[in-house]
């Protein structure tokens, strides 16, 4: 057996109980499903293992956690060498089966290979991809608030703790006008930078009307860093161009960032050509190796210098360590990013699955990526074991039939069913891979 030969790969399904239910398109989750993937290889000193994570939520993606677990469990890497890391990540069959169909699964593979290869080579992920910046500013989302005083309090609190506030908007013109006006006035008064996240809620023409009203009210956007996905998914990249032009028409020079409208390399090129910034959500697009490919193609397609960000998909600390390393190694990700926010903002104590703390520089209010061989993290296996679901197939057989698993509970809205939504989103029968 040669050194660095892969001897075992293993997917794990976790179900992590949430403090409060996580809203989905057809209901809400009480437990967040997350898939981990380990790759173990033999060295002269013994077994060395790397870990990856796939964190994305159905129906925000066209596949669920069982699809990720299933495809990773079928991946044949035993006998291959860790030194073939790039060959594996470029393998056309693996790309077809994982990257094209289940990008989050490809992210977990990419991450696990980076981790194990880095340990063999005694290199950090930052060295593998080339560190471009020391750290970055973290965004912190602020949920809808019914009272302006609560919204203002939240914005001030996030900023005081070193975050750039990102209030959610997209509830409708009148409510959004009130929210944006309150935040813009506060930011001007107290010099607080902010970001607005529209979550793809507006028709392009509706967004133009909102901008017109903001201009009529004399809203000052000098502290607004960027606007994230103002127009709906159906509007595509054209909708974002329309939104950007609407802002310019009324004298706002605010950058527009594509989130829902950016999934593939072709999307990135289209956006780059028209000056739309990108939200690199690793688990949505397919990992850091592919993110660098996308970025390179996007940069080649434009002469403009433009700024991007690294988004978040509520990973555990394992996935968030990688998000931070992505934000530090991609050339263009200079915008404040969700990817810098420590996962301890939602997974604390027993749910913090590593023995490392996220690093924060108080002088600059920036977060710094974890350094060390591979991912540089130290796993807490007793915590991971607490959340491991030991029979994922049985769990998802029940869920795909419209029920609840032993661990994962999905509260559906009236008239909605998991099997029906699954078939609509994926185009597959709910039992196709069970």
- Please, which pLDDT band fits residue 146 given cuts at 50, 70 and 90? confident
CA dist 226 and 256 (Å) reads: 6
pLDDT of residue 286: 98
pLDDT at 2 over 80: no
Whether the per-residue pLDDT at 44 is higher than 90: the answer is no
Please report the pLDDT score of residue 145 as a whole number: 87
Name, in order, each residue with C-beta under 8 angstroms of 250's C-beta and a sequence gap of 6 or more: 211, 212, 214, 215
Domains of the chain as residue ranges with CATH: 5-122+390-426 (3.30.390.10), 128-368 (3.20.20.120)
Q: Do the beta carbons of residue 253 and residue 213 sit within 8 Å?
A: no
* pLDDT band of 400, cuts 50, 70, 90: very high
Please report which confidence band the pLDDT of residue 235 belongs to, taking 50, 70 and 90 as the band edges: very high
**Per the structure block, which two tokens stand in for 418?**
């998991």
What SS3 class is residue 420? Answer: helix
For 52-95, how does the pLDDT look when each residue is reduced to its tens digit (9 = 90+)? 999 999 999 999 999 999 999 999 999 999 999 999 999 999 99
With a pLDDT cut of 70, the percent of the chain lying above it is: 100
Encoding tokens for residue 432?
């196709």
For residue 260, is pLDDT > 70?
yes
Which residues, 6+ apart, have CB-to-CB distance to 168 below 8 Å? Answer: 141, 142, 143, 144, 197, 199
Strands 27-43 and 5-24: antiparallel
Q: Higher-confidence residue: 3 or 207?
A: 207
From residue 54, alpha-carbon distances to 57, 67, 105, 404 in Å are 10, 11, 6, 22
Predicted confidence band of residue 25 (pLDDT cuts 50, 70, 90): confident
Q: Is the model more confident about 374 or about 147? A: 374
Region 217-246: what's the mean pLDDT?
A: 96
Is residue 237 predicted with pLDDT exceeding 70? yes
H/E stretch holding 37: strand 27-43
Mean pLDDT value of segment 164-184: 95
pTM for the model: 0.96
CA–CA separation, 219 vs 183, rounded Å? 10
The pLDDT of residue 205 is 97
Q: Which pLDDT band, with edges at 50, 70 and 90, does 24 fall under?
A: confident
* Percent of the chain's residues with pLDDT above 90: 92
Q: What is the mean pLDDT of residues 25-49?
A: 93
Whether 51 and 318 have beta carbons less than 8 Å apart is answered as yes
- State the pLDDT at residue 210: 97
Does the structure show a pLDDT above 90 at 144? no
According to the model, what pLDDT value does residue 1 have?
58
Q: Which residue has the tokens 């850091």?
A: 288
pLDDT band at 22 (very low <50, low <70, confident <90, very high): confident
Contacts for 104 with CB less than 8 Å, ≥ 6 apart: 35, 54, 55, 56, 61, 63, 68, 283, 284, 286, 313
How high does pLDDT run on average in the chain? Answer: 96
Query: Is the predicted pLDDT of residue 206 greater than 80, yes or no?
Result: yes
What's the average model confidence in pLDDT over 13-32?
A: 90
pLDDT for the residue numbered 23: 84
Q: Which of 97-106, 168-177, 239-248, 298-307 has the lowest mean pLDDT?
A: 298-307
Report whether pLDDT(107) > 90: yes
Supply the pLDDT for residue 352: 98
Instruction: Give me the phi and psi of 32, to 5 degrees please.
Output: -95, 120
Q: How many residues does the chain have?
A: 434
Distance CA(52)–CA(34), nearest Å, equals 11
Q: How far is residue 135's CA from residue 369's CA, in Å, rounded to a whole number? A: 7
């Amino acid at each position: 057996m040669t050194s660095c030969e892969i001897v075992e790969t293993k997917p794990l399904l976790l179900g992590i109980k949430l403090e409060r239910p996580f809203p989905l398109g057809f209901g809400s989750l009480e437990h967040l499903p997350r898939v981990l993937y380990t790759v173990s290889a033999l060295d002269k000193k013994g077994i060395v293992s790397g870990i990856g994570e796939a964190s994305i939520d159905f129906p925000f993606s066209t596949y669920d956690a069982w699809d990720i677990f299933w495809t990773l469990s079928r991946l044949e890497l035993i006998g291959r060498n860790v030194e073939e890391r790039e060959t594996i990540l470029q393998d056309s069959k693996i790309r077809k089966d994982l990257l094209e169909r289940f990008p989050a699964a490809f992210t977990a593979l990419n991450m696990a290979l980076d981790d194990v290869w880095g340990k063999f080579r005694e290199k950090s992920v930052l060295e593998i991809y080339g560190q471009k910046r020391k750290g970055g500013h973290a965004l912190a989302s602020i949920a809808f608030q019914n009272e302006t005083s609560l919204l203002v309090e939240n914005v001030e609190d996030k900023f005081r703790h070193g975050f750039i506030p990102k209030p959610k908007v997209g509830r409708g013109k009148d409510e959004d006008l009130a929210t944006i006006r309150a935040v813009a006035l506060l930011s001007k008064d107290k010099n607080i930078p902010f970001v607005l996240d529209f979550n793809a809620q507006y028709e392009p023409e509706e967004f133009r009307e909102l901008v017109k009203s903001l201009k009529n009210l004399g809203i000052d956007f000098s502290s607004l860093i960027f606007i994230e996905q103002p127009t709906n998914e159906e509007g595509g990249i054209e909708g974002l161009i329309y939104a950007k032009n609407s802002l310019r028409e009324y004298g706002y020079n605010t950058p527009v960032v594509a989130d829902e409208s950016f999934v593939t390399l072709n999307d990135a090129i289209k956006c780059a050509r028209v000056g739309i910034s990108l939200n690199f959500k690793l688990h949505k697009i397919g990992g850091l190796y592919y993110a660098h490919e996308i970025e390179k193609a996007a940069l080649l397609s434009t002469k403009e210098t433009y700024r991007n960000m690294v988004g978040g998909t509520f990973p555990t600390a394992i996935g968030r360590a990688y998000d931070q390393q992505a934000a530090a190694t991609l050339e263009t990700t200079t915008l404040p990013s969700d990817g810098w926010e420590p996962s301890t903002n939602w997974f604390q104590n027993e749910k913090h699955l590593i023995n490392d703390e996220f690093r924060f520089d108080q002088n600059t209010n920036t977060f710094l990526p974890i350094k060390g061989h591979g991912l540089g993290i130290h796993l807490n296996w007793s915590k991971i074991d607490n959340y491991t679901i030991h029979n994922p197939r049985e769990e998802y057989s029940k869920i795909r039939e419209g029920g609840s698993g032993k661990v994962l509970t999905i509260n559906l809205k009236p008239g909605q069913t998991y099997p029906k939504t699954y078939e609509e989103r994926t185009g597959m029968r709910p039992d196709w891979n069970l």
